[in-house]
């Protein structure tokens, strides 16, 4: 089908929760292709899903092989791929146990349920989250996401969340009461505008949680798995959370969410407490194992750090050049460019130059290239962004 035919069918049959601008049929590395054959540089990576690039041969092979062997078997039975993946994730992080589901919101729900069950006998259930956070679109995660624009129209929202200011430890202290069970945050607030937590804040939170007997929970759905130039976002500080969640990039587009807990929390859930039909099925787990292999073998965490620096240096030149471009933010390859006007205008202008990027709030353009991006593609992208900004803000023509 051509793009306009696809759009017609969307108009008729797909609920209008997004407003896409182009149709895509094919991807390879950092490139994606439209039905008419044009190609774009993809600096959205499926919103931080393709950390290893589109259709990485190792991941494709793992998916093909597993699909032809055993794609699903339910959690009524053991499967080897889930066992191997849980071991891998545990050893790479908290040395505890994992629970598998299908999305970021669902993984966060599992994490909050775990915290509630853990605190239940002491009457503790309230989770402190942060203004500008994003934790997903289920009803409870709307409550956790302290942004009016996602909550509006869906009240009454589930209770059990209190809000504090990001990077402000005093504000967290004020939000704590006898019902508080946990503090949950993104090490880098992504959807909320690319705001990294300071190491002092993370370390202060860890100490505060230890002092008050609270759990520290990290939502690593977007900032995990190398995106920020460390394997885990919290590693920019010296702390470790009690549990964290993954989704987006873990299985390279095969839907998967994961809750990873430390040993203290690893046996809180017992049979009957929580479940997921698809969670950790052989297909998604095989894809995730291949993703972890690629990240390790190709040194993508280091690559993310190195390319992130180069990219931010390049973008900083635009801050000098245009007064409408205010700031470059972010770590690794989770990068935001703050503009005075609407970020969407910059996204549209970049698309006209054959570069796909997205927004993170009103004024922040978000770039999420694959972590195995090369220097020459990065330079190509900077030229496209430069042309886009010149078209919008340049005075020469």
Q: Which is nearer to ligand PLP, 47 or 73 (CB)?
A: 47
Nearest distance, CB of residue 165 and ligand PLP, angstroms: 18
Long-range contacts of 261-267 (CB under 8 A, 24+ apart): 261/94, 261/96, 261/97, 261/98, 261/99, 261/114, 262/94, 262/95, 262/96, 263/94, 263/95, 263/96, 263/97, 264/96, 265/96, 265/114, 265/118, 265/215, 266/96, 266/97, 267/97
Sign, CA torsion 212/246/156/130: positive
Q: Which is nearer to ligand PLP, 48 or 82 (CB)?
A: 48
Q: Which is nearer to ligand PLP, 130 or 311 (CB)?
A: 130
Q: How far is CA 298 from the centre of its chain?
A: 21
Nearest distance, CB of residue 134 and ligand PLP, angstroms: 5
Q: Enumerate binding residues for ligand PLP (CB under 6 A).
A: 103-105, 108, 134-136, 186, 190-191, 219, 221-222, 247-248
Nearest distance, CB of residue 222 and ligand PLP, angstroms: 3
What is the phi-psi region of residue 163: left when phi exceeds 0, alpha when psi lies from -120 to 50, beta otherwise?
beta
Nearest distance, CB of residue 221 and ligand PLP, angstroms: 4
For ligand PLP, which residue has the nearest CB?
Answer: 104
Residue 357 is encoded by which pair of tokens?
A: 């990027």
Q: Which is nearer to ligand PLP, 45 or 222 (CB)?
A: 222
Residues 242, 213: Cα–Cα separation, whole Å: 11
Q: Which is nearer to ligand PLP, 42 or 393 (CB)?
A: 42
- Tell me whether strands 358-359 and 355-356 are parallel, antiparallel or unpaired: unpaired
Q: Which is nearer to ligand PLP, 136 or 204 (CB)?
A: 136
Phi, psi (rounded to 5 degrees) for 335: -120, 135
Contact 261, 243 (CB under 8 A): yes
Nearest distance, CB of residue 48 and ligand PLP, angstroms: 7
Nearest distance, CB of residue 126 and ligand PLP, angstroms: 19
């Amino acid at each position: 089908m051509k793009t306009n035919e696809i759009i017609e069918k969307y108009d008729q049959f797909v609920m209008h929760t997004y407003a896409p601008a182009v149709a895509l049929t094919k991807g390879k590395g950092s490139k994606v292709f439209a039905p008419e054959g044009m190609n774009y540089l993809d600096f959205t990576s499926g919103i931080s899903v393709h950390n290893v690039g589109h259709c990485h041969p190792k991941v494709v092979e793992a998916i093909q092989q597993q699909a032809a062997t055993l794609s699903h078997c339910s959690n009524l039975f053991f499967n080897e791929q889930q066992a191997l993946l849980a071991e891998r994730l545990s050893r790479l992080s908290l040395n505890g146990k994992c629970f598998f589901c299908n999305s970021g919101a669902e993984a966060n729900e599992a994490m909050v349920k775990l915290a509630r069950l853990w605190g239940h006998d002491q009457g503790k259930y309230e989770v402190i989250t942060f203004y500008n956070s994003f934790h997903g679109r289920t009803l409870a995660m709307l409550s956790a996401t302290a942004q009016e624009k996602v909550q509006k129209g869906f009240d009454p929202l589930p209770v059990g969340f209190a809000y504090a200011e990001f990077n402000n430890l005093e504000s967290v202290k004020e939000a704590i009461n006898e019902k508080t069970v946990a503090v949950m945050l993104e090490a880098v607030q992504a959807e909320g505008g690319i705001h990294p937590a300071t190491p002092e804040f993370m370390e202060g939170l860890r100490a505060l949680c230890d002092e008050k007997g609270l759990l520290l929970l990290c939502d690593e759905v977007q900032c995990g798995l190398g995106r920020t130039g460390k394997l885990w976002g919290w590693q920019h500080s010296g702390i470790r959370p009690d549990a964290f969640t993954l989704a987006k990039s873990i299985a390279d587009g095969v839907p998967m969410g994961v809750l990873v807990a430390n040993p203290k929390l690893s046996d809180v859930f017992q049979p009957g407490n929580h479940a997921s039909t698809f969670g950790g099925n052989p297909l998604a787990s095989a894809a995730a194992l291949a993703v972890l292999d690629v990240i390790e073998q190709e040194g993508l965490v280091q690559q993310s750090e190195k390319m992130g620096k180069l990219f931010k240096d390049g973008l900083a030149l635009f801050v000098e050049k245009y007064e409408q471009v205010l700031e470059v933010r972010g770590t690794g390859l989770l990068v935001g460019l703050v503009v005075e006007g609407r970020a969407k205008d910059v996204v549209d202008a970049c698309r006209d130059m054959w570069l796909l990027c997205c927004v993170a709030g009103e004024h922040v353009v978000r770039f999420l290239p694959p972590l195995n991006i090369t220097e020459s593609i990065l330079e190509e992208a900077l030229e496209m962004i430069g042309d886009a900004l010149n078209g919008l803000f340049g005075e020469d023509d």
